[in-house]
Structure 1
Amino acid sequence: MARKRPRDIQQLFGGQRLQRFTDFTEQYQRWQQQLQQCFVALQLSPLLAHCKVVSVRAHTLVLEASSAALASRIKLQQSRIITHFQDESTGHISRLEVQVRPKIHTPSPQPAEKSAQPTQNVEKNDDDTVAKLRQQAALCEEPLRSQLLALAAKYEKN
């Protein structure tokens, strides 16, 4: 059975998938900034470390909180949060949903030291693509972050 030839990196990033992903990450950042502004205005700033926007869909703002107690405090401010997000033209929001997802505190693995490798001449396009991969990885959470960084490292070696 013949194996398919691997795709060129330009084929991977030339399509619509990367653009959709980039658009989503930009929208996600705007939601997080709006949430931060809202919590500052409502004097709920201490909750920011334990709360984030998951999505905005079907006129519903979906937030994630790390505990039920925090979720209750957020729900008490529901109407003010909805008003803030509507004023910021996120779209018509009529509901607030708060999901409780406790954070698991696991020790982070120590990064392995890189061995000194000789530098290779890499085309400018590959450098740009690697930079884009690393930039997008910085915006993502695990496990996608590590996968994007691994892909960037793979193309840096080639």
Structure 2
Amino acid sequence: MPRKRPKQLDQLLGSQRLQQFADFTEQHQRWQQQMRDCLQEQSLRELVPHCEVIAVSAPSLIIRVSSAAIGQRIKTAQGRIITYFQSHATPAVTQLEIRVRPSRQASTTPAPQAAEKPTRNESETVRKLREQAALCEEPLRSQLLALADKYDGSP
């Protein structure tokens, strides 16, 4: 089978696929800005770095969150978020879909091996527990704080 000749740079830059990609990228940035504005309006500013709009396809607004705790907080504000996007987004939004996908940074850390003795990096564990507790509602918040206190007080 003969190979196709490589395209010239002018052909690539003027292609319809590149324009579609540029349009989608621009639309995605607008959705992200709308999400930031919405969360700030709802007094959920601390959730902004943990949420990303994946797509707005009628009738769904699809959001990726970094943890289940963040997803639960977004779910409690679902009605207000839908209302905000109904008045600001191009396609009509009537439902919210949340996908929990931990950030790549968290997933690239290797899991501790069972045969090894756990390291004494408890201050980092305590800090992470307290951060997650700050993002959660009761009773999970008090349980995470109690667990952090347990790690913090151990010899």
Q: TM-score range by the shorter chain?
A: 0.5 to 0.7
Distance 1:41 1:70 in 2: 17
The answer to whether structure 1 residue 59 and structure 2 residue 66 are counterparts is no
Distance 2:17 2:44 in 1: 36
Counterpart residue number, 1:98? 98
Counterpart residue number, 1:133? none
Structure 1, gaps ≥5 residues long: 108-158
Structure 2, gaps ≥5 residues long: 110-155
CA RMSD of aligned residues (A): 1.5
Counterpart residue number, 1:44? 44
Q: Could you say if the C-alpha distance between residues 94 and 25 of structure 1 is closer, same or farther in structure 2, counting changes exceeding 3 Å?
A: same
Kept after mapping to 1: 8 A contact 2:57/2:91? no
* TM-score, structure 2 normalization: 0.65
Distance 1:92 1:14 in 2: 31
Q: Which amino acid aligns with 1:32?
A: Q
Q: Which amino acid aligns with 2:31?
A: W
* 2:104 partner SS: coil
After the TM superposition, which segments of 4 or more aligned residues of structure 1 sit over 6 Å from their partners?
none
* 1:102 partner SS: coil
Counterpart residue number, 2:7? 7
Counterpart residue number, 1:24? 24
The answer to whether structure 1 residue 79 and structure 2 residue 79 are counterparts is yes
The alpha carbon displacement at 1:13 in A equals 1.6
* TM-score, structure 1 normalization: 0.64
Query: Matched residues, percent identical?
Result: 50
Total equivalences in the alignment: 107
Q: Could you say if the C-alpha distance between residues 88 and 58 of structure 1 is closer, same or farther in structure 2, counting changes exceeding 3 Å?
A: closer
